[in-house]
Structure 1
Amino acid sequence: MGRQAGADSGRPASPPRLGFLDACRGLAVVTMLFANFVNVFLHRVPLPLTHNYGDLLRPFDFPAPVFQFLIGVSLTLFLRKHVQLGRTPHRAKLAALRRFALLILLGMLLDCVGALHVGLRWGVLQTLGLGGMIATLLADAPGEGVMGVAIALLGCFSGALNGEVHASPIAALAFVPLTLGGLLVGRLLPRGQRRELGRFIRYTTALALGAGALAAAFYAAGIPFNKVVGTSSFVALAAGVSAAALAGTALVESLGMRFPDWLRAVGGNALTAWVLQYVLVYYPAWIAFPSWRRLPFFPGVAAILATTTALSALTVALGRRGIRIPI
């Protein structure tokens, strides 16, 4: 027993999780679930609760792009962790590429089952995986280079090249600047010292303001805010919102406040929650009960809240047993 303890103590320690990052990711995924379940349970959806309505900007247009941004932030932690655990930077990047490739394949499988059709389908998880793979390839590039690629993509997707983001890999490139923005923010993540957290908040706030100003410039040039096709104005605005959300959760933590354990746990198992919604909500609603007519507003909202709560609780319970889809 003593020899085993000595062997374990010689292994590199895995770096601790960042509570404010898990909390931000948890807020994003819970809000995404709520927004998606609105379309499952409500017969008539009030305008403030809609999303993906073209040029009409809605609050629920932002959770999915925020999650895409946080994928880039998490990638930095993933690479840092694997290097600390003894892998070479090259092998750490290969592990990340493999993980994102599997995420794309998982998304294709889930979408094929939902459509009852075998084929190469594109969707949200695939867009996340594509952004992650490109960010991994640029992980060692200087910040100016990463920023240059992001701005170049924003310029390319300011008109003719735009298409439905979650319908094809080419159109999905419009969301890649979100992941690259997260990659840049991830490089600033604090390593435990409080003064580093303050510096992180300042830089992330500055990025949020800069992205917001860029979004305003694109909008003033006549490019509408449109999440569906990923216009440059929307993507820049979503990057600003994402950075502001992360700065906000970091600020809360810097003030000594503690986020609920369940929220941080959901954030640490966010992809598990995303997959569970397919299996436990989408498939029963659209395949097992194709005549489902949805509910009036108040019973529907009650069903949405109950389902979101139950799915989050199941995600946490599975995570505690080691059953999770890692980011």
Structure 2
Amino acid sequence: METPTTPAKGERLISLDAFRGFTIAAMIIVNDPGGSHHDAYPPLRHADWNGITPTDFIFPFFIFIVGVSIVLSYSPQQARGVPRGKMVGKILKRSAIIFALGVFLNLFPDFNFAEVRLPGVLQRIALAFLACALLFLYTGRRTQAWLSAGILVVYWLLMTLVPVPGYGESLLEPGKNLAAWMDSLLIPGTLYQGTWDPEGILSTFPAIATGITGMLAGHLLISGRTREQKIIWLFFAGLIAYALGNIWNWFFPINKNLWTSSYVLYTSGLAAMTLGAFYFFIDVLGYRKWTKPGLVFGSNAITAYVIAGLLPALLYLSPGGGESINSLFMDGLTGAGLSQPFASLLWALGFCLICYIPVYFLYKKQLFIKV
């Protein structure tokens, strides 16, 4: 969702635009280290399995933001009396485009359809957006809250109580769990981890719950409460969710690959508190000068992500069997005495800057590519 965010009484939420943009920038940085992901600094790597790092915050933060944006974007349309059928048509179209872009990036640049990977980051965003947007149009806030809680509880019970076919017991190990079994059974083509996919079918349901938590924050932001009350509630609800996520971790470990229920509450709580902080400093106190990079990325977030998905084909290409730009950069810096993690970070920051240039041009021209 990249529609300008407008809460009650015409107040533009610069904080949400900036939050979206900085989240996309962080996603680009952690996705594109100079060497392998194991060469990056630990906070810039995903947790190997159970546990969490700052990198694991980024994807759920973005889906949380999608949920907030749904409420802020479609509430004014409802108030203007836009027919529900018309909104549904646009939702279906937008979801299909985002999903198709994700499949395109998986195919690029070889376009080997025999080994296409259907799941992916954009695909999960598309499905979460679709489910959450339809829920917003057809259900109320209370129903959405209960549905989110129900998804998390049912997912927990399925993953911890249902025996995995072929193993005879419930497991939460890599490739040996109910979600992995379902991926290998139902998803055609290539899976990211061979026999399972971190953006697979079953784990998409708690990801939708993450989007719903964002919708609940959106409902708060368009409510008649004062700014101060909104900030207090974002921090209070966020802290409660964060605490519950930590407690649930004792029984259902925090795990991004499985998108566990504890992971949803933990990251949604942090996202709510981060949004509250952004809202306080940017929209209430008016500290906005530092937000420019976030606003640039946030104005064309999906476009920036697609650009970041296309660039590696150029920067990692080895023409005529020679060294790629990436290899020359990394070899040059490590040869000069810099550590591999530091050189990797410099590459990732430079890569993000390259992605910033075209979206900055679009921002200056007030061109917002809606997908």
Cα distance change of structure 1 residues 257 and 46 upon mapping to structure 2, 3 Å threshold: closer
Partner of 2:204: 172
**2:40 pairs with one of 45, 54, 66:** 45
TM-superposed CA distance for 1:168, in Å, is 2.4
> Scaled by the length of structure 1, what TM-score is found?
0.84
In the TM superposition, 1:123-134 aligns within 5 A as: 123-134=120-131
Instruction: Describe the superposition over 1:46-94 as per-residue Cα deviations: whole angstroms up to 9, x where unpaired.
Output: 3232115211311111011100110111111221344466622442233
Q: How far apart, in 2, do the equivalents of 1:40 and 1:115 lie?
A: 21
Relative to structure 2, which stretch is displaced further, 67-76 or 307-316? 307-316
Q: What percentage of aligned pairs have identical amino acids? A: 24
Instruction: Describe the superposition over 1:98-153 as per-residue Cα deviations: whole angstroms up to 9, x where unpaired.
Output: 21222112111211225632246110001011011111121041222111211122
* 1:98 and 2:96 correspond: no
Cα distance change of structure 1 residues 69 and 115 upon mapping to structure 2, 3 Å threshold: farther
Cα distance change of structure 1 residues 229 and 128 upon mapping to structure 2, 3 Å threshold: same
**1:75 pairs with one of 70, 78, 81:** 70
> Scaled by the length of structure 2, what TM-score is found?
0.75
* 1:299 and 2:343 correspond: yes
Partner of 1:262: 293
* 1:220 and 2:250 correspond: yes
Contact preservation (8 Å) 1:42, 1:301? no
Find the residue that maps to 2:93 and give its secondary structure. helix
TM-superposed CA distance for 1:266, in Å, is 1.5
Contact preservation (8 Å) 2:203, 2:260? no
Cα distance change of structure 1 residues 264 and 142 upon mapping to structure 2, 3 Å threshold: same
Partner of 1:232: 261
Q: Give structure 1 stretches of 5+ with no counterpart.
A: 1-13
Partner of 1:141: 139
Partner of 2:274: 245
Contact preservation (8 Å) 1:216, 1:233? yes
Q: Give structure 2 stretches of 5+ with no counterpart.
A: 1-8, 160-176, 181-195, 331-339
Contact preservation (8 Å) 1:108, 1:126? yes
Contact preservation (8 Å) 2:37, 2:45? no
Partner of 1:157: 155
Moved over 6 A (4+): none
Contact preservation (8 Å) 1:190, 1:200? no
Q: How far apart, in 2, do the equivalents of 1:247 and 1:198 lie?
A: 10
Whichever residue aligns with residue 266 of structure 2, its letter is L
Cα distance change of structure 1 residues 251 and 121 upon mapping to structure 2, 3 Å threshold: same
In the TM superposition, 1:269-280 aligns within 5 A as: 269-280=300-311
Q: How far apart, in 1, do the equivalents of 2:59 and 2:34 lie?
A: 15
Cα distance change of structure 1 residues 156 and 271 upon mapping to structure 2, 3 Å threshold: same
* 1:32 and 2:27 correspond: yes
Whichever residue aligns with residue 228 of structure 1, its letter is N
TM-superposed CA distance for 1:178, in Å, is 0.8
Contact preservation (8 Å) 2:119, 2:197? no
Paired residues, number: 310
TM-superposed CA distance for 1:166, in Å, is 4.0
Partner of 2:191: none
**2:241 pairs with one of 188, 211, 234:** 211
TM-superposed CA distance for 1:42, in Å, is 6.6
Cα distance change of structure 1 residues 286 and 59 upon mapping to structure 2, 3 Å threshold: same
Contact preservation (8 Å) 2:30, 2:348? no
Cα distance change of structure 1 residues 182 and 41 upon mapping to structure 2, 3 Å threshold: same
Contact preservation (8 Å) 1:72, 1:132? yes
Q: How far apart, in 2, do the equivalents of 1:96 and 1:271 lie?
A: 16
Whichever residue aligns with residue 307 of structure 1, its letter is F
Partner of 1:111: 106
Contact preservation (8 Å) 2:155, 2:261? yes
Partner of 1:189: 221
Q: How far apart, in 2, do the equivalents of 1:238 and 1:298 lie?
A: 27
Instruction: Describe the superposition over 1:235-287 as per-residue Cα deviations: whole angstroms up to 9, x where unpaired.
Output: 1111111111111101112123224333222212111111110111x323566
Note the aligned Cα RMSD (angstroms). Answer: 2.8
**2:313 pairs with one of 283, 293, 308:** 283
Contact preservation (8 Å) 1:21, 1:250? yes
Q: How far apart, in 2, do the equivalents of 1:320 and 1:41 lie?
A: 35
TM-superposed CA distance for 1:230, in Å, is 0.7
Cα distance change of structure 1 residues 89 and 188 upon mapping to structure 2, 3 Å threshold: farther
